[in-house]
Amino acid sequence: MIYCNPMPIAASCQLDKDTTEAILNSFARAVADLIELGKSLEITIGVITIKIVNRNLTYAYRSNFEQQMNDT
């Protein structure tokens, strides 16, 4: 199981810790169930895209994000 500290998310969403933790656990469980069923997923969160195809996980950052990180 993937663990994520729910406190920063809870604070930014103005939700309590328990509610946020339940949401994150449900999301992780749903992703795991879909992978177990052999489904492919593409999840984009901000500047990163996570792809799971045939149970292989890959990720990629948006190309301009890498350039922005290298610019001073």
Q: Based on the fold, state whether residues 25 and 1 are members of the same structural domain.
A: yes
Strands (E), 1-68: 41-45, 48-53, 56-61
Q: How far is CA 14 from the centre of its chain?
A: 19
Q: What is the pTM of this model?
A: 0.64
Question: How many domains are there within the chain?
Answer: 2
Q: Based on the fold, state whether residues 20 and 9 are members of the same structural domain.
A: yes
How confident is the model over 9-65, as pLDDT tens digits? 666 777 788 888 888 899 999 999 999 999 999 999 888 999 999 989 999 988 888
Q: Based on the fold, state whether residues 28 and 45 are members of the same structural domain.
A: no
Please name the helix (run of DSSP H) or strand (run of DSSP E) that holds residue 65, with its range, or none.
helix 63-70
Q: Based on the fold, state whether residues 30 and 55 are members of the same structural domain.
A: no
Residue 70 pLDDT: 80
Q: Based on the fold, state whether residues 34 and 44 are members of the same structural domain.
A: no
Mean pLDDT over 2-12 rounds to 62
Domain that holds residue 58: 40-72
Give the confidence band of 69 by pLDDT, cuts at 50, 70, 90: confident
Q: Based on the fold, state whether residues 7 and 30 are members of the same structural domain.
A: yes
Residue 9 pLDDT: 65
